[in-house]
Chain A
Amino acid sequence: MVKNSYWWLIPIIYIIGGILFPLVFLFIFAGGFDFSAIVENKNLIFFTIKQALVSSFFTMLLGLPGAYIVARTNLNNFLKSCFRIMSSIPFILPGVTMSIGFLFAFGKNGLITKLLGLLGFKGQILYTFAAIILGHVFYNFPLFIRIVGETWEKIDSTILEASKVDGSNKYKSFIYIELPLLLPSILKAFLLTYVYTFTSFAVVLILGGIRYSTIEVAIYMYTKILFDFKSALTLALFQILFISLVSYFLNIKHFEDFLSGVSLKEKFPIWGYLYFGFSILFVFVPLTYSILSGFLNYGGGFGIDNFKRLLNLNIEQYINTSFFNMLFFSFVIPLIASLISIIITSIASYYSSRGKKLDYLIILPAAISPVTIAFSYVILRITPFFALVFIYSLISIPIVFGILESGWRTLNPEIEQAAILEGANRLILNLKIRFPMIKFHILTTFVYSLTIGLGEMSATITVSEPPISTFSIAIYRLLSSRRIPEARALNTIYTFVVIILFSLIEYLRSKEKK
């Protein structure tokens, strides 16, 4: 019944229509390619490929133990929820806010610099290659916790218990039983991390110091400073093809059947404390500074001065529309986009989990910078509202896909076959059996796609005009008018709104589980 349906064409059409087709117009506008751009930027290209690989590796190193802790230990559920919520926040942080966090944590007078100084470590962390890796781990390790953790939680405890009876120890059963089941999810998280760090811009420039830059920096230069659209498009195309290729090879299509159930919960391990200590130090300290940057007074010290300044400011002047409009569009556009993204991706990931090769196409929206898509929409004269709905839904597809595909894999084929024998049609099968079984995966994707939409800045600025405005536009406008204290305050407010939203979803989730 899967084989003769054509539903899988829907995501393909959506991505080709939303990304590749507009790029054709960009090509016509630019007037062709300029392949010398690739040769000229070869050092930059090599560095980009290399730093993304190293960054992804370290992200995996920190991400996998986190996934284990969330999925397989009997750690307090409240702590798990906090960990999950906090680790989603970096996704919405603008580069400049991230940089505040890192300066206050790792800078000359930073908290961690001082702590490490007490321990005798005097080296410099910022403006090194290590800082780039740190920044990338900061942004991306939640991908492992979410994608791998969500799957790990569904490995049926009975197989592990059975293997114990057969005399296997913990490590053996991890290598021979769990790892093969987890591998597709690990590869998904790795691929996404690779793509996001490949196209990274702010982390490399701000944290890496003066010696490093990526392809994305060159694309920015060609578009915004030199107006050399041919070179920009050529590099963008190179990026797309390269990532498509990586994604094609990082994909394994033959897997053993998944046995889903309730995962075995083990005692919280001793190394878990070490792990928490480490991640608090290197991820949550800078994150806390970023979130609370609104309380860092201009000129030094802590307080609520920035918020007072913000209250005295007529914010409508900055967003060029009413405050209500900003609030409305900030949430409504990401909401619609999330729904579209989840529907489209449900289809794609279902067929992908059943063996159809779609990954190299699905990953494309992450391989191209949102501002390039936005610019091609400007050329096509798509109205701002629809342009943003398209862009937000497209750029969240890769990550939603990563999570959902892992979800589909955890479904037991036997249950489906039983249902079909009982006479269930496809609608009932989807509504009553499939979707309820992966509802946590879906909830997670919802959080992520919403966050991605809410936090998107560059494309939003490129296409928005009154009456459409969003939180991220307001923050950008305050910054560009040098209203630094007010921008910090608004950013903190906005982050808290997002934290509340995530907590609500997390609450629903824990209520469901009981």
Chain B
Amino acid sequence: MKKFLLVLFVLIAFTSISSELIVYTYDSFVSGIGQKVVPIFEKMYGCKVKLLSYGDAGAVLSRLIAEKDNPRADVIIGLDQGLLSKAIKYDVLDKYKPLNYGLLKYSELMNDYGVPYDFGALAIVYNKETIKNPPKSFEDLLKPEYKRKIVVEDPRTSSTGLSFLLWTIAVYGENYLNFWKQFRENLLNITPGWDEAFEMLESGEADIMVSYVTDGAYSYYYYGNIKYVPIVMSEGAFVQVEYASIVKNAKNKELAKRFLEFILMEEFQKEIPLNQWMLPVTEIEMPEAFNYVPKIEKTLQIPATIYDNLEEILKKWSKIVIGG
């Protein structure tokens, strides 16, 4: 069946496809997994793929919105749940269901406008040399022993920071601001992005930061040790899913569709763990380093309407945390 599908794809490819596919994505996709998978796709369909990036996923979406009337890209890769809902609202995507969507291990991740290709979860990461009694839950994070030891990213400027804010909403519902009121006391700093927060951990300035569940695996793989240990809070994990979508009025729609099918194939999915440091969405054998990823026992959801109220949420958050 798989072989048959492949032949079918190739046949479609040869009949109806012009030669260059333009893909918008975030930077680390271009420099990481893109280098591995694009040549395979190009060979499969005898075409050229141009990967273009202009910063993070948000920056790429801004550009897509700016080019709405005369889009240059055929495919956009890297929108998460929040950005996908924005993109749908701005009407810059086309619906598509890939022929091989049955390969998806978690069909509930599917969206009419986006094919999920990987997912990950936020984690609290701590320096195991200085924190002997790590927090296990959000309630623990409020303990006085962590006073001025924690650094988080700013939700107004960082997608990691925004996801963390959404995580607290997933845990506390309407009462999330009460959590932040107390949590504020334990914060040493709120940084504009992940890099600065990490530098604070690296320099010994802070001991706990908001990062991702795969941090330990990454550190083990590249540096052979794990100094900063990720934990998923016992209330449940907040999962971030990344999507690939077809751009509305794309010039190369057929090839774009084939690309969306390609991302569910083994050739693409098996590169996810060690390049994206995320979890694949199809059945794939996991590399050894991923033994150091904490198990996700329970995942938390937030209502889709939250994404429409981000402005209000950020405003309230600023008032409580920044004070203005």
Contacts and interface: CB of A to CB of B under 8 A. Distances in A.
Given A205-B154, A481-B32, A378 B66 contact: yes
Contacts of B314: 221, 225-226
A206 interface: yes
- Which of B30, B199, B202, B227 has most A Cβ within 10 Å? B199
A107 B196 CA distance: 13
A223 B191 CA distance: 18
A371 to B, nearest CB: 9
Interface string B222-248: 010101000000000000000000000
Contacts of A218: 156
Interface in A161-211: 201-202, 205-206, 209-211
Contact of A298 (B28, B62, B202, B315): B202
Interface in B114-150: none
Contacts, number: 149
Contacts of B54: 461-465
B26 interface: yes
B87 to A, nearest CB: 9
B195 A479 contact: yes
A227 interface: yes
A103 B31 contact: no
A100 interface: yes
A462 B205 CA distance: 32
Nearest to A319: B31
Interface in A377-414: 378-379
Contact of B51 (A320, A464, A480, A484): A320
Given A103-B203, A225-B157, A228-B311, A211 B322 contact: yes
Interface in A402-459: none
Interface string B42-83: 000000000111111011011101110000000000000000
A107 B324 CA distance: 26
Nearest to A96: B195
Given A224-B58, A225-B156, A375-B66, A206 B192 contact: yes
Residue of B28, B31, B61 with most chain A CB atoms under a 10 A cut-off: B31
Contact of A476 (B27, B156, B203): B27
A29 interface: yes
B204 A109 contact: yes
B31 A481 contact: yes
A477 interface: yes
B310 A299 contact: no
B321 A210 contact: yes
B188 interface: yes
A43 B207 CA distance: 31
Contacts of A212: 322
Contacts of B188: 127, 209
Nearest to B193: A96
Interface string A463-484: 1111000000000110111101
A103 B66 contact: no
A224 B157 contact: yes
Nearest to B36: A317
A205 B31 contact: no
Interface in B192-229: 192-193, 195-196, 198-200, 202-205, 218, 223, 225, 227
Given A96-B196, A108-B205, A461-B55, 17 more contacts: A96-B199, A99-B191, A103-B199, A103-B203, A126-B189, A213-B324, A217-B157, A218-B156, A220-B156, A220-B157, A227-B58, A228-B311, A300-B204, A320-B53, A481-B31, A481-B32, A484-B198
